[in-house]
Chain A
Amino acid sequence: MADLIIIGSGPAGLSAGITAAECGLSVLILDEYLKPGGRLLGQLYEEPGGKWWNGIEETRKLEKRAAALDLDIRLGTAVSNIEKEDGLWHVYTDRETFTAPSLLLATGAAESPVAIPGWTLPGVMSVGAAQVMTNVHRVKPGSRGVIIGVSVLSSAIAMELNIAGIDVAAIALPKMNEVNKDGANPAGVMDSLLHVSHMAPSKFVQFGSKLMQNDFMKKLGITFYPKGGVKMWGIPVMLRKAVIEICGTEQVEGVILATVTTNGQVVPGSEQRIDADFVCIAGGLYPLAELIGLTGCPFHHIDELGGYVPLHNEQMETPVDGLYVAGNITGIEGAKVAMSQGVAAALSIARNFGRQGLDDILREAVEYVGETRRKAHIQFHPEVAEGRRKMQQYWEEYEAAQERIAPEEPVVEKEVLQGV
């Protein structure tokens, strides 16, 4: 039996596994994917200074360190359930059941869609799917695509498709409806892009920085935003056009674009069809918390972190005894933050396991998470630090309440056991 089971071999899980093994714990990592690395694998972009962040290379570095420590990583192993019984975590997979006293959930994020009529047609895929097909499996998702949803992630992936020689005809908004609200509002999307302008391509920044100054200018900017879009890497970014339908019978043949008003309403008669053989849907990311949702761990909805996030502290502990979290399950951020969280989680686990002398490096590791966040090149939400502050506050409120109820007695633990 291992001391620690880690679910997820993404940047958070791998970094945690390496650190835990370095502290002398025996570690088992489970992942349903066919390669280790999680969503780090598909990442590819130029950092300031001209160096490329190549996810495959970064994964290889982690894999090498893991191999040197003889880490047990089981791929192709999907976890379907977790339960705690008699102080041990039981992890049910499609192959066998594993047990360990400590469990770290590093299951990452999932993509949220926007819905467009025709989006079940073959050839329509999430923008992350196109990224993985292109950069990891090296198969073109198609020869000419349209990306629906304008965000940091979709612009980064548009650029990745571009350098792989795949034609992206346009990046446009989704049509406004009850499920596509935020992503379909031109003024709102423009505002959120300007906040992450250090990530946006220079053309867009040049256009945008003139508008940053005040709300009036912003309004003017979106009003007079060129209908043909502003080009980045030769790809038109259309903030005043929405895809209102995806056309095709057996697979994607094209999309219908229409001009929208500054608040996202379709201008009748402005419809135009463009040909495409694939379509990417970019609706954003949310923490994939389904497994931790089975444990009774409390959740909080924090917009800045991407949705419902399990309650945890900066040492990556949850209120459930022996249960830890790291990476995008705690909020949507880039891979470097995920790695630093993995290290902090592993140090906490080792300390709670009775390893001596870790207090100082754990404190440094927690500080390093904050520092990595401040320096991050990719930011999915401009107010992510505020989201983290909220979570820490919820944690403190929770701890204070626990002390009032019953000192020394973990309340959640009891609920979990009753639920089993």
Chain B
Amino acid sequence: MTDKDMIICRCEEVTYGELVETANEYGCNARELKLRTRAGMGYCGGRTCRNMVDAVACTVTERDSKQVTLKYQPPVRPVHFGDLGAIGHD
């Protein structure tokens, strides 16, 4: 296996080649890179690959040190369909 085919985002199986090519073609920041490739949009919410996606984006853009580059979105743990409508009781 070459580096190009090496997986970065394990959930969505996005490869190193795809990320580097997309970053170079569009000169995109981490957020745009994520949206274009789906890296970090899978089951784990990007906990595993976020720093690597960030690193690729940082080769073509400046890091925003005052704002998390890949915004967190709820839910941070997958919610089962049955639980979505559940009413809190406490």
Which residues of B are at the interface with A, using a C-beta cutoff of 8 A? Answer: 1-3, 5-8, 10, 16, 20, 45, 47-49, 51-52, 55-56, 59, 63-68, 71-80, 83, 86, 88-90
CA distance A98 to B1 in the complex (A): 48
Identify which of B5, B6, B45 contacts A116 (C-beta below 8 A): B6
Distance between B38 CB and nearest chain A CB, rounded to angstroms: 16
CA distance A78 to B6 in the complex (A): 31
Assess whether A179 is interfacial by the CB under 8 Å rule: yes
Asked if A225 is an interface residue, CB under 8 A from chain B, the answer is no
Besides A179-B52, A294-B72, 15 other CB < 8 A contacts? Answer: A80-B76, A110-B47, A113-B48, A115-B7, A117-B2, A117-B3, A119-B6, A177-B3, A179-B56, A290-B45, A290-B76, A298-B66, A301-B65, A301-B66, A308-B68
Which stretch from A89-97, A135-143, A335-343 is at the chain B interface?
A89-97
In angstroms, Cα B16 to Cα A117, docked, is 10
B56 lies within 8 A of A293 (CB): no
Most B C-beta atoms less than 10 A away, residue of A113, A178, A283, A300: A178
**Which of A119, A298, A299 contacts B7 (CB under 8 A)?**
A119
Among B3, B73, B83, max chain A CB count under 10 A is at: B3
Which single member of A32, A80, A299 contacts B68 (CB below 8 Å)?
A: A299
Chain A to chain B contacts (Cβ below 8 Å), 28 pairs: A1-B90, A32-B77, A81-B75, A92-B75, A94-B79, A96-B86, A96-B88, A96-B89, A97-B89, A97-B90, A99-B88, A113-B51, A113-B52, A115-B6, A117-B1, A119-B6, A120-B10, A175-B3, A177-B3, A177-B16, A178-B16, A179-B52, A283-B51, A288-B47, A291-B76, A300-B65, A301-B65, A301-B66
Query: A78-127: which residues lie under 8 A (CB-CB) from chain B?
Result: 78-81, 90, 92, 94, 96-99, 110, 112-113, 115-120
Is A94 a contact partner of B83 (Cβ separation < 8 A)?
yes
* Interface hub of B8, B45, B55, B68 (most chain A Cβ within 10 A): B68
Is B88 a contact of A92 with CB atoms below 8 Å? yes
| Minimal Cβ-Cβ distance residue in B for A308 | B68
In this complex, how many residues of chain A approach chain B with their Cβ under 8 Å: the count is 42
A300 to B74, CA, bound (A): 21
Contact of B80 among A81, A94, A110 (CB under 8 A): A94
| A130 at interface, CB cutoff 8 A | no
Chain A residues near B16 (CB, 8 Å)? 115, 177-179
Number of A-B contacts (CB under 8 A): 101
Q: 3 closest Cβ contacts across the A-B interface?
A: A97-B88, A293-B72, A80-B75
Majority-rule SS of A interface residues = loop
Known A178-B59, A291-B76: A299·B48 in contact at CB below 8 Å: no
CB-CB under 8 A from B86, the residues of chain A are 96
CB pair A293–B6 under 8 Å, yes or no, is no
Report B84 CB to chain A, min CB distance, Å: 10
In the complex, whether A307 has a CB less than 8 A from a CB of chain B is: yes
**Residues of chain B within 8 A of A279, CB atoms compared:** none
Hey, which chain A residues are within 8 Å of B6, CB to CB? 115-117, 119
The verdict on A61 contacting chain B, using a C-beta distance below 8 Å, is no
In this assembly, does A167 line the interface, its C-beta being within 8 Å of a C-beta of chain B? Answer: no
- Docked-complex contact A118 and B59, CB < 8 angstroms: no
Task: Please determine whether B74 and A118 come into contact, CB atoms closer than 8 angstroms.
Answer: no
Chain A's closest residue to B23 (CB) is A178
List A264-316 residues whose CB lies under 8 Å from chain B: 283, 286, 288-291, 293-294, 298-301, 307-308
Shortest CB–CB separation between residue B77 and chain A, in angstroms? 4
Q: Which residues of B contact A321 (CB under 8 A)?
A: none
Residue in contact with A178 in the complex, picked from B2, B20, B47, CB distance below 8 Å: B20
- Asked if A245 is an interface residue, CB under 8 A from chain B, the answer is yes
Nearest B residue to A181, CB-CB: B55
A119 vs B9: C-alpha distance when bound (angstroms): 11
B14 → chain A, closest Cβ, in Å?
11
Task: Kindly provide the distance from the CB of B71 to the nearest chain A CB, expressed in whole angstroms.
Answer: 7
